[in-house]
Amino acid sequence: MTATLWPDHLFLVGCGNMAGQMLARWLDCGLDPARVAVLRPSGKPIAEGVRVMSAYPDALPAGTTVLLGMKPYQIADVAASLAPLCGEDTRIVSILAGTPLADLRARFPAARAVVRAMPNLPVGIGQGVTGLYTDAATAAQARDAIGSLIAPLGLVEWIADEGRFNEVTALSGCGPAFLFRFIDALARAGEALGLPADQAARMALATVEGAASMAARASDSPGTLADRVASPGGMTREGLNVLDADDRLLSLLTDTLAAARDRGEAMARGG
C-alpha cells in the first residue's frame, strides 16, 4: 500500500458523525494529532492532542487542508468567516450533501483546490466508500494529495461527471442505512417464522457479513453467486423466486435510490 500523504495542517469545520469517523480513522492510521485543529462551538474534546477551538482562528497555516463537515445549511455562515482565511494554497474538501462545486468555488474564491467528497459511515473502520469530484482548476498534485488522504478510509472513486454525484450519494453514501434496514428486516423475518429474536438478529448479521466478504473476494458477480447457491427446486431457489418476481427487489431498490437522489437535487436547488 502506498504511504499516505498527510497534510501539514488539517482544519475541520465541524466534527459530527461522518467527519468524526473520518478523523478517527486518520488518527488510527498515523496522522499526527498535533497537525489537526477542529472548530467545534461546544469546545468538547475530540481526541488527545487534537486542538479544539470554539471560534475561528485569526489565520490558517500555509497549505492547510480544510474539511467542511458541518451541516449543509450552515455553508453561508461558515464561508463568511472562513473564506477570508483561505489562500491559494488552501485545499477545500467538502462532505456537504447537495452543495455543488460551483457553489463552493463561489464561496471560497481564493482556494484553487476544491474537492467534493461523499464518504459513507464505514470509513471509520477503513471499509468505506468515498466518491470524489473536482474540476480542472484543481491541480493534479492537489488532487493526488487529497486522494491519498482519503485512501485510508476505504474505496476511493473519482467521479467524472458532477451530474452523477447525487446518484453516487444515493448508492454508497446512503447505502449503509439501507443495508442496516435490510439486516434488521432479515432478522425480523426470521423471528416472524418462529426463531427467537436475539438468535435471528445474530444470524442475520453474521449471514450478511459473511456473504459480503465472500462477494468481495469472488471473481464472479454477486448475481452469479446467488444463482450458483440456488439449486433447482431447492429452498434458496424458492426464496429467490419471490425476490426476483417482476423484478420486485430491483424495483424497490431503484425507487429507494431515486428518492435519495431526488432529495439531493432538491437540496442543491435550496429546497
Please, which pLDDT band fits residue 93 given cuts at 50, 70 and 90?
A: very high
Q: Which residues pair with 114 in a beta bridge?
A: 92
Residue 247 has pLDDT above 70, yes or no: yes
Gap between the terminal Cα atoms of the chain: 42
Give the C-alpha distances (Å, rounded to integers) separating 223 from 215, 218, 255: 10, 11, 20
Q: What is the mean pLDDT of residues 190-196?
A: 98
pLDDT, position 264? 86
With a cut of 90, say whether residue 265 has pLDDT above it.
no
Strand partners, 37: 11, 51
pLDDT at residue 271 in the model: 67
Fold classification of 175-268 is ProC C-terminal domain-like fold (1.10.3730)
pLDDT at 3 over 90: no
Do the domains at 9-165 and 175-268 have one common CATH topology?
no
Please check whether residue 24 is in contact with residue 122, taking contact to mean a CB–CB distance below 8 angstroms: no
Average pLDDT over residues 225-248: 94
- Asked if residues 133 and 115 have their Cβ atoms less than 8 Å apart, the reply is yes
E strand or H helix at 37: strand 36-39
Share of residues in the chain with pLDDT > 90 (%): 90
Sort strands 128-133 and 154-158 into parallel, antiparallel or unpaired: parallel
Q: How distant, in Å, are the alpha carbons of 69, 99, 100, 135, 261 from that of 266?
A: 20, 11, 12, 22, 9
Which tops the pLDDT comparison, 103 or 266? 103
Average pLDDT over residues 85-104: 94
How confident is the model over 128-143, as a mean pLDDT? 95
The pLDDT of residue 207 is: 97
What's the pLDDT score for residue 238?
A: 95
Write down the residue that cell numbers 498534485 correspond to: 141
Edge-to-edge strand ranges of the sheet holding 51-53: 51-53, 36-39, 9-13, 64-68, 91-94, 113-118, 128-133, 154-158
Compute φ and ψ for 91, nearest 5 degrees: -105, 130
- With 90 as the cut, is the pLDDT of residue 5 above it? no
What residues does each domain of the chain span?
Answer: 9-165, 175-268
Percent of the chain with pLDDT over 70: 99
pLDDT digits (tens, 9 = 90+) for 6-42: 999 999 999 989 999 999 999 999 999 999 999 998 8
Helix (H) or strand (E) holding 175: helix 175-192
pLDDT at 43 over 90: no
pLDDT at 268 over 90: no
Region 107-126 average pLDDT:
96
The pLDDT value given to residue 194: 98
In CATH terms, the superfamily for domain 9-165 is NAD(P)-binding Rossmann-like Domain (3.40.50.720)
| Dihedral of alpha carbons 207, 209, 211, 214, sign | negative
Query: Which of 97, 115, 121 lies closest to 158, judged by CA?
Result: 115
| pLDDT value of residue 2 | 64
